[in-house]
Amino acid sequence: MANYFPVSAVRFEGAKSRNPLSFKVYNPEELVEGKTMREHLRFAAAYWHCMRNPLADPFGAGTAIMPWDDGTDSTGNALRRVDVFFEFLEKIGIDFYCFHDRDVSPERATIRETEATFDEIAARLKERQTAGGKKLLWGTACLFSHPRYAQGAATSPDVNVYAFGAAQVKKAMDVTHALGGEGYVFWGGREGYNTLINTDLKRERDHLGAFLHMAVDYKKKIGFTGQFYIEPKPQEPTTHQYDSDSAACLNFLREFGLLNHFKLNLETNHATLAGKTMVHEMRVSRHAGALGSIDANQGTFGCGWDTDEFPSDLYLTTGIMLEILEMGGFTTGGLNFDAKRRRESFEPVDLFHSHIMGMDAFARGLKVAAALRADGRIAEFVRERYASWDGNLGRKIESGKSSFDELHAAALAAPDPTLRSGRQELLEGIVNQVLCQ
């Protein structure tokens, strides 16, 4: 078998290791709260960033060195990329992967030909999955690159474009199903508008609702039991995307009667773009029973771009893993590195350095999150903070059995309330104390 990366399999060597191609924290078999790190974290690599991202930016051409890629749309080139990608997964020790249809398989002159090529590539993906014990976390369709989708796909003003998009999703679902995918993602990059002046917002949202309903029907028809996810993002490439954040997505799903069929795939940098923290986005969807999967990356606050940096911020990874532990762990979801190396990190080995760093950051986040739960001081504080609600009056209100008359009487009878301190800084100090242990 060809050897595209001149490195050996990456292993855990512990905190003292100075070997750059080793894990310092991520120890796949180490138990945390009774489960191995590997089971908790369910890492996935993104095909698009690993294999298809040339590391270009709006000011300059791609810099990524990809000696295996001849730059053509030939099926042979696409098949070779599959081999390179699986060698990467095997050497880095990542169990899952995610792809868009067009990342793995090029578009041909007709839909029929495109589908035939896709079947050929899917067969190779399946072969490599089985050989290496790898799994597809989720598949998706790229409905944003081709010029026909310039004005949206499921929200296009043109019904024929809409049909094209549906055909593409149908096939991407077939392939995801055939590959045993655990999920399927809808990220509507252009499902929004650039200006309201030319946009029938009502019709576009209705069309998107209908599109997703047809996807649910088709899922049942083919017997695909994977989880459907919506991935929120507020803008970029459109000025406004209908699935702008967790709350907007949940409202959309509720409005169109789709809430039972979808969970959310949350991406850190999308939260940042929405002016929210990732933990906020996770908390909102967790309480709605809709926290599904994570696109792990990080961005720069206020920068306005989805810079998809590899996650290095331990405070962030701790917050994310705390939400996951509080949820009881992932079921179908996982941590997909929707992250790209910086344009300066153009060598193939940088794929390893970036994933190693991100995996160690999440392993540390997991350990700190578990330690915070074992420590218990923060949870105890929050319980105490709301303790007044555990009395008769609180219980009645919470169960919808009180009234303004009763509360008026209660307020008259009660002494003036005395608030207790929120102790934000004390609690932040506890997080830091545990993080540094």
Q: Which of Ni ion, ligand XLS, none is residue 156 near (CB under 5 to 8 Å by kind)?
A: none
Burial class (CB in 10 A: 0-12, 13-18, 19+), 8: exposed
Instruction: By CB under 6 A, name the binding residues for ligand XLS.
Output: 100, 140, 185, 187, 231, 233, 267, 295, 306, 338
**Active site includes 103?**
yes
Instruction: For residue 309, state whether it binds Ni ion (rule: CB under 5 A).
Output: no
In the set 40, 49, 95, 100, the catalytic residue is: 100
Rank residues 95 and 306 by Cβ distance to ligand XLS and give the closer one.
306
Rank residues 248 and 430 by Cβ distance to ligand XLS and give the closer one.
248
The two structure tokens encoding residue 364? 């540390």
Query: Which alpha helices (H) appear in 256-391, and where do they start and end?
Result: 268-273, 278-287, 314-327, 349-375, 377-385
- Residue 328, Cβ neighbours under 10 Å: how many? 8
What does the angle CA 182 – CA 38 – CA 319 come to, to the nearest 5 degrees? 90
Q: Which of ligand XLS, Ni ion, none is residue 115 near (CB under 5 to 8 Å by kind)?
A: none
Instruction: For residue 306, state whether it binds Ni ion (rule: CB under 5 A).
Output: yes
Instruction: For residue 338, state whether it binds Ni ion (rule: CB under 5 A).
Output: yes
Instruction: For residue 267, state whether it binds Ni ion (rule: CB under 5 A).
Output: yes
Angle, helices 111-132 vs 75-92, to 10°: value is 30
Chain positions 369 to 388 lying near Ni ion, rule: CB under 5 A, are none
- Pairing label, strands 227-230, 183-186: parallel
Considering the complex, what minimum distance in angstroms separates the CB of residue 343 from ligand XLS? Answer: 17
Rank residues 188 and 367 by Cβ distance to ligand XLS and give the closer one.
188
77: Cβ–Cβ under 8 A, 6 or more apart, which residues? 69, 70, 71
Q: Cα-atom radius of gyration of the chain, to the nearest Å?
A: 24
- Pairing label, strands 35-36, 31-32: antiparallel
Rank residues 27 and 192 by Cβ distance to ligand XLS and give the closer one.
192
130: Cβ–Cβ under 8 A, 6 or more apart, which residues? none
Q: Which of ligand XLS, Ni ion, none is residue 12 near (CB under 5 to 8 Å by kind)?
A: none
Instruction: For residue 103, state whether it binds Ni ion (rule: CB under 5 A).
Output: no
Considering the complex, what minimum distance in angstroms separates the CB of residue 376 from Ni ion? Answer: 34
Residue whose Cβ sits closest to ligand XLS? 187
Q: Which of ligand XLS, Ni ion, none is residue 335 near (CB under 5 to 8 Å by kind)?
A: none
In the set 101, 103, 243, 338, the catalytic residue is: 103
Distances (CA, A) of 142 to 164, 186, 267, 331: 12, 9, 17, 25
**Active site includes 40?**
no
Which residues make up the interface to Ni ion (CB under 5 A)? 267, 295, 306, 338
**Active-site residue numbers?**
100, 103
